[in-house]
Amino acid sequence: MNDEQKNARPRDSQRQGLYMISVAASLAGVHPQTLRVYEQRRLIQPTRTPKGTRLYSDANVETLRRIQELTDEGMNLAGVERVFDMEAQIARMRRRIVSLERQLEQTRAEALAEIDRIRRANRAELVPYRPPQPTRIPVRRAPEDSTESETQ
């Protein structure tokens, strides 16, 4: 097992509350009161113990760092909320695209299989279509009346 595998935590543990507010604030480089403000604005959602103590996960700490990056660049909290909303919307849209692409491939495969089945079932009955060829119909001209030309 390499170092990366040893240090990698399962996805569930990234969302499990591990840190009390003071530790999480220290890890993110913010004041504990700032975490309470972020929670009020629903930027982060720590879990709570049965007694109500906030517990922050690794994912929460990463979110706090991301908020700090955005606010350090001059964005206000309303802007951060909007960025998070748009990122969540993009993630949902990407998942939807992947789902639709899978559905399209499945439908395409089913359609091709059905076409093949119909071709095999009706092979003797199918006759290739050939458009009609233009035909020439000879035009017969009436013989000139010799009596009329002589009398004139």
Which amino acid, one-letter code, is at 18? Answer: L
Handedness of CA 88, 71, 77, 49 (dihedral sign): positive
CATH for 9-75, options being 3.30.450.40, 1.10.1660.10, 3.20.20.80, 3.30.470.10: 1.10.1660.10
Which amino acid, one-letter code, is at 65? Answer: R
What pTM does this model have? 0.59
pLDDT tens sequence across 32-69: 999 999 999 999 999 999 999 999 999 999 999 999 99
Q: Report the distance separating Cα 71 and Cα 116, nearest Å.
A: 59
Domain locations in the chain as residue ranges: 9-75, 76-122
Give every CB contact of residue 133 below 8 A, 6+ residues apart in sequence. Answer: none
Nearest C-alpha neighbor of 39 from the set 52, 51, 50? 52
pLDDT tens sequence across 85-134: 999 999 999 999 999 999 999 999 999 999 999 888 877 666 778 888 88
